[in-house]
Amino acid sequence: MPIYDQRYRRYEARNPLRELRFWPITREALKLVVARRAFLLLLVAAWIQFVARTIQVYVVTRFPDAGRVLPVDGRLFGEFLSGQLGFALLVSVFGGAGLIANDLRTGAILVYLSRPLTRVDYILGKLAALMSLNLFVTLAPALMLWIVAVSLAPEQFASLKLMWLPLAIVLHSLVISLAMGLMALAVSSLSKSARVAGLAFAGLFIGLEIARGVLRGMFRTPETGLISLQGNLHALGNALFGIQHRFFNQPWPLAALALVVMAALCLWVLRARVRAVEVVQ
């Protein structure tokens, strides 16, 4: 067509290259994190409890008297997942602190959002990376432990009475990973330094928990635990696995509501901070 016949044409952005637009972000974020040897060591260390619990299940199945001291039932998995919270914190700090902070520092966020990607895709991509890492230290070892327990004591763990266990494990692991992931990302979006974001997230996580301890000492009511992310995750786990705990005994519906409020707050922070513009002051 001759050039003088060319008319103004409306620009049409190309269609997204794939259905799951967030996947390249997740893949690249995972590649960057997993390339660090120290992080791999941390992931391996997160399985130490799995080994210890496997030994516990083995000992109790071979010597039933030991079950009086170390009971092996559904509660084992709730306690296991509560024990993994510390590793979930470390994994979130190591893997999640820089996810948005580094993009804000280098200006890469503008490059991301100038591609055929929406803000939701960007956040989903980062969240999926962090959730995968968290699930690797919660869901994977817990499910593996359940398989080991079923294999060693099928008459106990493969019974109808405990058929709900895998579902509870998946549900609690997903809640832990989602809550930790959202909070880590929200804190990461508030700073341009991965180190500051990591320490701020750890400070928030631990600070709210110690504030819970102080409030409990002051008011002596279980509802004081609602301010702590850790406390709410424990309370939800206790309800799912039927654990009676002396300290994390706030009502589970309230704990679930508190987690929803925390998640909504994190999403609001992410919505405000993840933008395709940079305000230069």
Partner 1 sequence: MSADEKALPPPVPFLRAARAVFDLSLEEMVWSRKSLVMAGLLLMPVALAVLFRLVANLKHAPAGIDLYGLVVAMYYLRNALPLAALFFATALIADEVEGRTITYLLSRPVSRASILCGKFAAYVVTTLTLTLPGIVVCFFLLVTLRGFSGVAAFVPDLLRDLAVAALALCAYGALFTLLGVLLKRPTIPGLVFLVGWESLANLPGWLPRYTVTAWVRSLISHRPVDEGLAELFQTTLPAGEAVVVLVAITILGLAGAYGIFSRRQFVLDQ
Contact set with partner 1 (CB under 8 A): 38, 42, 86, 89-90, 93-94, 97, 191, 193, 195-196, 198-200, 202-203, 206-207, 210-211, 213-215, 217-220, 246-247
Which residues, in sequence order, are CB contacts of 216 under 8 Å at separation 6+? 222, 224, 225, 247
**Residue among 93 and 104 whose Cβ is closer to partner 1:** 93
Q: 101 vs 182, which CB is nearer to partner 1?
A: 101
Question: Rounded to the nearest whole angstrom, what is the least distance from the CB of residue 78 to partner 1 in the complex?
Answer: 16
216-230 burial code (b ≥16 CB/10 A, e <16): beeeeebebbbbbbb
DSSP code, position 15 = P
Closer by beta carbon to partner 1, 86 or else 253 = 86
The nearest distance, CB 91 to partner 1, in angstroms, is 10
Residue 278 C-beta: closest distance to partner 1, Å: 17
Q: How far apart are CA 226 and CA 261, in angstroms?
A: 11
d(CA 221, CA 178) in angstroms, rounded, equals 27
Nearest approach, Cβ of residue 141 and partner 1 (Å):
18
CB of 208 to partner 1, least distance (A): 9
Contact status, residue 192 vs residue 93, Cβ threshold 8 Å:
no
Of 42 and 176, nearer to partner 1 (C-beta) is 42
Closer of 210 and 260 to partner 1 (Cβ): 210
Cα maximum dimension of the chain: 93
SS3 277: coil
Cβ nearer to partner 1, comparing 82 with 177: 82
Find the shortest distance in angstroms from Cβ 212 to partner 1: 10
Cα distance between residue 142 and residue 45, in whole Å: 15
What is the radius of gyration, based on Cα positions, of the chain? 23
